[in-house]
Amino acid sequence: MVSNDKAGVRATAQEARKAAKSPQIGGRCAASPDKSISHRAIILAGMANGESKITNLLESDDVMATAGAVRALGASVEQMGAGHWRVTGQPCWQTPSAALDLGNSGTGVRLLMGAAARFDLSARFTGDASLSSRPMERALAPLRLMGVTAQTADGGRLPVTLTGSSRLKAITYTPPIASAQVKSAILLAGLGADGETMVIEPHATRAHTETLAPLFGADMDVQRDGAGQIARVRGRQALHAADVHIPGDPSSAAFPLAAGLVAGSGTVTVTGIITNPARFGLYEVLKAMGADMTITPAGHCAGEALADITVRPGTLKGVDVPPEIAPSMIDEYPVLSVIAAFAEGVTRMTGLAELRAKESDRLAASAALLTANGVRVELGEDSLTVYGMGPGGVPGGGAVKTLHDHRLAMSGLILGLGAKEVVTVDDVAMIATSYPGFFDDMAALGAQIT
């Protein structure tokens, strides 16, 4: 990342931006720190005995909301320098004096409900308008089986008041939908249960909780089982402090790399990206589309294999994106839809019902983003078909409504960098929730965003 200019992004809150054709795009940047692992590192450190150091923490609004909540539950969470944080854990979390406001963050609220569940406390969880419209029952249902009591607003939404217990029961649970957030909530609660808790996933989701918790001394692991996996955690565990360096986020890296593919004339390299197969679906699809892409192994960090990825512009071909791959690229469909608009041929994406429960209805919003910019799409209940217009063929000129969704805002801007006419994005404020260095990185690569 060129710089971690959170204040810079905040200063532009609620402002529209315009993205213009930028054939000069090229260069190199470090991947923005991973959001999922940043949340998990703060939460695990916050309940561990002793002082943990976290470096390269993603200082985004979402992660800062989690840090604030962990502080309110009793831990000390302090910034020592840019990206460098010291967390002095509180092994017995306490009832916070005010509601825990998780802002826009589904990961923050669902993981924290699970983490708080194993303590004798009561906490009220709130969020912004987008988070307050999202389903919480999917995480609360298994926690109730373990012994938690929880009241929700109508439809299982926030605000949620949760009363935890130091006498939770261990469960074996198969989530009805593929969700790393639900799995992680159960595993974090299971750290305090009276026995072994298991989560059986028919389709494997990101296993960052399972990879990170053992660094804090937890007896937790995960094993592949065909297309799925089984995670388990032993109960009644105390954690110890750990030092964690946060690796690069494949979901954020997708934006500068997409700019290189659809707009640039040179190479774009993003360094230090997690290549965990449960996060790498987009890059597999890009390979199938014929992207000119080099993936160079770049060591390991926090238990994750990393790579530097270089792309060059070229002709991409439309592909079928099957439902099984969705859990490994669940956040990448808006940007893939944009890339598909610049491909030759048709891209059909199926099995996407979950996209309707994200920060916005991402399925409908991705379709609207493309339609507003002259790209033909077909929107189904759980599918999206994009009729590619070839390199340089996307008309653009449209206004993108971001609906308080950071990934739609960034996707709209990427479309503008390759389209014939300037694209306007109505509100870029939410980009600060996941990728606060976005504008700096894009400017350094030569993107015309004003």
Residue 330 found at the interface with ligand S3P (CB under 6 A): yes
Assigned token pair, 270: 């993003």
CA distance 370 to 241: 47
State which H helix or E strand residue 347 sits in: strand 344-350
Of residues 331, 405, 427, 441, which has the active-site annotation?
331
Question: Is the peptide bond between 322 and the residue preceding it cis, with omega within 30 degrees of 0?
Answer: no
Of 449, 444, 397, the C-alpha closest to 419 is 397
By CB under 6 A, name the one of 4, 32, 38, 179 that touches ligand S3P: 179
CA 383 to chain centre: 21
Q: Which residue is nearest to ligand S3P (CB)?
A: 36
Angle at 324 between CA 320 and CA 326, to 5 degrees: 80
State the minimum distance, in angstroms, from the CB of residue 359 to ligand S3P.
Answer: 8
Residue 331 found at the interface with ligand S3P (CB under 6 A): yes
# chain residues binding ligand S3P, by CB under 6 A: 10
State the minimum distance, in angstroms, from the CB of residue 152 to ligand S3P.
Answer: 17
Quick check: helix, strand or coil at residue 61?
helix
Q: Which is nearer to ligand S3P, 68 or 334 (CB)?
A: 334
Of 355, 424, 436, the C-alpha closest to 16 is 424
By CB under 6 A, name the one of 32, 36, 252, 271 that touches ligand S3P: 36
By CB under 6 A, name the one of 181, 269, 276, 373 that touches ligand S3P: 181
Distances (CA, A) of 371 to 96, 337, 383: 46, 11, 15
Going residue by residue from 194 to 213, which x/- string records binding to ligand S3P, judged by CB under 6 A? ------------x-------
Residue 61 found at the interface with ligand S3P (CB under 6 A): no
Going residue by residue from 106 to 145, which x/- string records binding to ligand S3P, judged by CB under 6 A? xx--------------------------------------
State the minimum distance, in angstroms, from the CB of residue 298 to ligand S3P.
Answer: 22
State the minimum distance, in angstroms, from the CB of residue 330 to ligand S3P.
Answer: 5
Type of residue found at 415: L
Which of 207-242 are b and which e, b meaning 16 or more Cβ less than 10 Å from the residue's Cβ?
bbbbbbbebbbbebebeeeeebbbbbbbbebebebb
Contact partners, residue 226, CB within 8 Å, separation at least 6: none
Of 273, 402, 376, 386, the C-alpha closest to 337 is 386
Residue 328 found at the interface with ligand S3P (CB under 6 A): no
State the minimum distance, in angstroms, from the CB of residue 272 to ligand S3P.
Answer: 18
Q: Which is nearer to ligand S3P, 22 or 184 (CB)?
A: 184
Going residue by residue from 234 to 273, which x/- string records binding to ligand S3P, judged by CB under 6 A? ----------------------------------------
Specify whether 225 is catalytic: no
Within 226-267, strands assigned E span 228-234, 239-240, 243-245
Contacting residues toward ligand S3P, per CB under 6 A: 36, 106-107, 179-181, 184, 206, 330-331
Which residues are marked as active site?
331
